[in-house]
Chains A and B, each alone.
Chain A
Amino acid sequence: GENVEQHPSTLSVQEGDSAVIKCTYSDSASNYFPWYKQELGKGPQLIIDIRSNVGEKKDQRIAVTLNKTAKHFSLHITETQPEDSAVYFCAAIGSGGGADGLTFGKGTHLIIQP
């Protein structure tokens, strides 16, 4: 089955700086890569996703890049703000088997320092 590794586990950046979270996956057939944000006391919420037919996708201050050859994808947050402080999860899903759906990384706790 799919295995997703996520780094770092904790990331502290100054407000206004950029943050980058990286994930690798094992199943070369995976074709859908979402990112979820979990705020304190809440359930995870989708913030951006990318499919394997594109290399990059942007939505205002957040962007995701995908390198299928290297089997890794990254989340980029620019001009970080206090409300970006949260736990972020990457995930992947294969196109063939795996009816169980998404495999999640272990999460990154992003801390925005004022």
Chain B
Amino acid sequence: EAQVTQNPRYLITVTGKKLTVTCSQNMNHEYMSWYRQDPGLGLRQIYYSMNVEVTDKGDVPEGYKVSRKEKRNFPLILESPSPNQTSLYFCASSFHKAGELFFGEGSRLTVL
């Protein structure tokens, strides 16, 4: 089944404790992206990747890192999480930037 898989789905952590949200897709997509969803603000892009080893900042990259060592994986790293990073996070992938985006089920992160 074609899908984008994120883990963990739910996480409660404390300020400053590094965490990684994994994202994996099995559709051989070149384009991958991370979004955060907050009430009233819609979907805002954090980072995106056009292909392996090619990543770039989106609209709200502060406090996040990503890597794209393999085509299928695009982890989101919070080196020192803060409460303002409490949000619902979505990973998405597509064949190209203007194609259908396939979203994961989301990861709800709470930073205390």
Interface residue ranges, A against B (CB under 8 Å): 6, 9, 31-32, 34, 36, 41-46, 49, 89, 93, 98-102, 104-107
Sort A-B residue pairs by CB-CB distance and give the 3 closest, nearest first.
Answer: A43-B103, A106-B42, A101-B97
Q: How large is the interface on B (under 10, 10 to 19, 20 to 34, 35 or more residues)?
A: 20 to 34
Expressed in whole angstroms, the minimum distance between the Cβ of B62 and any Cβ of chain A is 15
Inter-subunit contact B98/A99 (CB<8 Å): no
- Docked complex Cα distance between A107 and B44 (Å): 11
Inter-subunit contact A46/B98 (CB<8 Å): no
Dominant secondary structure of chain B at its interface with chain A? strand
Expressed in whole angstroms, the minimum distance between the Cβ of A92 and any Cβ of chain B is 10
Would you call B31 an interface residue if the criterion is a C-beta within 8 Å of the partner chain's C-beta atoms?
yes
- Could you list 19 further interchain pairs (A-B, Cβ under 8 angstroms) beyond the known A100-B58, A101-B94? A31-B98, A34-B100, A41-B106, A43-B4, A43-B103, A43-B105, A43-B106, A44-B90, A44-B103, A49-B100, A89-B43, A99-B50, A100-B45, A101-B45, A102-B98, A104-B35, A104-B42, A106-B42, A107-B42
- A101 contact set on B, CB distance < 8 A: 31, 33, 45, 48, 94, 97-98, 101
- A44 contact set on B, CB distance < 8 A: 43, 90, 101, 103
Option from B48, B101, B105 in Cβ contact (under 8 Å) with A100:
B48
1/0 per residue, CB under 8 A from A, across B63-105: the answer is 0000000000000000000000000001010100110110111
Closest to B41 in A: A106
- B48 contact set on A, CB distance < 8 A: 99-101
Option from B45, B50, B105 in Cβ contact (under 8 Å) with A42:
B105
Expressed in whole angstroms, the minimum distance between the Cβ of B69 and any Cβ of chain A is 20
Inter-subunit contact B98/A104 (CB<8 Å): no
- A107 contact set on B, CB distance < 8 A: 42-43
State whether A100 and B40 are in contact (beta carbons under 8 Å apart), knowing that A42-B106, A49-B100, A93-B97 are contacts in the complex.
no
- B50 contact set on A, CB distance < 8 A: 99
Option from A45, A49, A93, A105 in Cβ contact (under 8 Å) with B42:
A105
- Docked complex Cα distance between A102 and B42 (Å): 13
- Docked complex Cα distance between A41 and B107 (Å): 10
